[in-house]
Amino acid sequence: MASERLLVIDDVASLREFLGIFFRREGYDVKTAASGEEGLEIFERWRPDLVITDLQMPGINGLELLRKVKEWAAKDGVDVPVLLITAHSTISTAVDAMREGAFDYIPKPFLNEELRITVGKALSMRRLAADNARMRAELGERYQLGQLVGNSAAMQQVYTLVRRVMGTRINCLIIGESGTGKELVARAVHYGSERSAGPFIAVNCGAIPENLFESELFGYRKGAFTGATRDKQGMFAAAHNGTLFLDEIGEMPLSMQVKVLRALAERKIAVVGDTNETPVDVRVVAATNRNLEQEVKEGRFREDLYWRLNVVQIDLPPLRDRREDIPALSMHVLERIAKEYGKKVHGFTPETMALLKNYRYPGNVRELQNIVERAVALESGPLVTPSSLPERVQGEVSVAAHGEVEEEFQVEGIDLEARLRAVERRYLEQALVATEGNKTQAAKLLGITFRSLRYRLKAFDMDGGE
């Protein structure tokens, strides 16, 4: 351990030099200053662990110095104990200084033993405080992993699982609706692991045409087929010593599933056009928004591959099932956007937050992110107000109040008109969400004319005043 750093400030040269020699012999790293000014200057750039200062000095005296040190230390987050050396005549000032946060005072003339013990005590208190600060930071960090934000029980379970797989090369399967953060979790798994120095390679299985799959994943040798004019490295080889993220794994054709299974089981890949297999060390993280178990039952996904990928399953619940994460996520986005745009927006009005917490988020965190980004960009005041939210969010309260429409017929009778209106409203909103507010497309989705849509939106006061 590096020696602890002591700053000694005294305008009397003999005392200053004595203290320097004394504490160096005790094993501390010591710097000395002949005035309060010089002391502050050294403090600022050296950040000692403890300050010993004379109380009475010309210029900046011990008390002023104490205040300044406390102020800076508070900013750093870890306290720096200050010991005062005082003549008999200034003991009452020293007592005042204790009230202002001095650790202790030592009256002159002092005994070396007393000095040694007091400094030791002050430093062990400081170590304790530093440990606490570190623990708090770690505790805070437990709820925030990588770029992931959110304290809900569901997210904490996600963090626990991520931590569990982080130090291993266990394959995992992340399941969640679109926009729930599957890729972010995959990155957290990678960047938290020993593989973080290696590459993170993401493959969107839904975006590769079936006939190109094999060469994309495994690569080919020059001359393997017409057009193979040079070697091409596949994604598996590119992810060597790192993580291969197979996104939308449910879209992988069955023919490829066999080959991927083999590569995982044998840790070797068959490069197209190569007779020898190449060993690879890859951890696979797969993600899907489909129900893979169902896909297995229906014969669209190989069961053996499913089990090989699904050693650990991480479920990301939809945002509407963990609404307690909404404030933290919203604030996270607000701070980022406010900084990016140089805007002085620093929060949300209570009504705005209530609306944000109420909305259904079919697009999950991605949709929340878009909503808050737009709101912050639009906002002119210091707080985001409801009028900066998209109309679908502003209009959500009544839907939430209606909740799911019950189909069950009740003996006391139902209000058919009200129920039908609620259903209609829900469909209108969903169509607008799905088309990001494009009314022409929304009308098509609903199988009605544009005019009819406009009429209905107006009836529900959902036309945004156009």
Binding residues for ligand ATP, rule: CB under 6 A, are 147-150, 176, 178-184, 289, 329, 365-366, 369
Shortest separation between residue 279's beta carbon and ligand ATP, angstroms:
30
366 binds, among Mg ion, ligand ATP, none (CB under 5 to 8 A by kind): ligand ATP
> Based on CB atoms, which residue is closest to ligand ATP, 119 or 185?
185
> Based on CB atoms, which residue is closest to ligand ATP, 80 or 155?
155
Runs of H (alpha helix) within 279-325: 292-297, 303-309
Grouping H, G, I as helix, E, B as strand and the rest as coil, residue 312 is strand
> Based on CB atoms, which residue is closest to Mg ion, 118 or 289?
289
Four-CA torsion 252, 257, 259, 265, nearest 10 degrees: 130
Shortest separation between residue 162's beta carbon and ligand ATP, angstroms:
11
Say if CB 148 and CB 130 are below 8 A apart. no
> Based on CB atoms, which residue is closest to ligand ATP, 101 or 362?
362
Residue keyed to tokens 């003339």: 109
Is 183 among the residues that bind Mg ion (CB under 5 A)?
yes
> Of all residues in this chain, which one has the CB nearest to ligand ATP in the complex?
181
176 binds, among ligand ATP, Mg ion, none (CB under 5 to 8 A by kind): ligand ATP
> Based on CB atoms, which residue is closest to Mg ion, 367 or 429?
367
Of 25, 332, 295, residue with least CA distance to 184: 332
Q: How many CA atoms lie within 13 A of 47 on its CB side?
A: 9
Shortest separation between residue 177's beta carbon and ligand ATP, angstroms:
7
289 binds, among Mg ion, ligand ATP, none (CB under 5 to 8 A by kind): ligand ATP
Shortest separation between residue 158's beta carbon and ligand ATP, angstroms:
8
> Based on CB atoms, which residue is closest to Mg ion, 184 or 445?
184
Shortest separation between residue 288's beta carbon and ligand ATP, angstroms:
8
Query: Between helices 36-46 and 62-76, what is the axis angle to 10°?
Result: 10
Please give the angle made by the CA atoms of 284, 280 and 316, to the nearest 5 degrees.
5
Of 326, 243, 334, 340, residue with least CA distance to 282: 243
Runs of H (alpha helix) within 342-395: 350-358, 364-378, 391-394
Tokens found for residue 203:
């493959």
Compute the distance between CA of residue 338 and CA of residue 302 in angstroms, rounded to an integer: 47
> Based on CB atoms, which residue is closest to ligand ATP, 319 or 422?
319
Say if CB 333 and CB 372 are below 8 A apart. yes
Shortest separation between residue 172's beta carbon and ligand ATP, angstroms:
14
Shortest separation between residue 163's beta carbon and ligand ATP, angstroms:
15
- Interface region with Mg ion, contact rule CB under 5 A, candidates 175-183, 261-269, 306-314, 348-356: 175-183
Say if CB 81 and CB 4 are below 8 A apart. no
Residue ranges that bind Mg ion, judged by CB under 5 A: 183
